[in-house]
Amino acid sequence: MSASTATPSKTPPRKPNRLRFSFFVFMGVYPLVTAVIYALTPFTSEWQIWQRNLIMVPMIVGSMVFVIIPAIHKHCHRWL
């Protein structure tokens, strides 16, 4: 087989560093959680904590799945 028809060897993509990824997730989630708590407290001050979390957690998870984590992969992939 000639050199021109041989397939070049590809190196597998590098696995992301979980510690760095968790740092970037923290940097995105912490301000979001803090802002949501401040925003919900005036409306839910008499509620039990589990009731507040029932409203807050879906907002946080949706933001993580559809906004924060895709943004980390798009903008911070070099550092992962």
Give me the pLDDT at residue 11, please: 76
Give me the pLDDT at residue 1, please: 55
What global pTM score does this model have? Answer: 0.74
> Which residues are CB-contacts of 28 (< 8 A; sequence separation ≥ 6)?
64, 68, 71, 72
pLDDT tens by residue, 19-34: 999 999 999 999 999 9
Which of 23, 24, 35 lies closest to 60 in space, CA to CA?
A: 35
* Residue pLDDT tens, the chain, 80 long: 555 566 667 877 777 789 999 999 999 999 999 999 999 999 999 999 999 999 999 999 999 999 999 999 999 888 88
Q: For the chain, give every domain's residue range.
A: 18-79
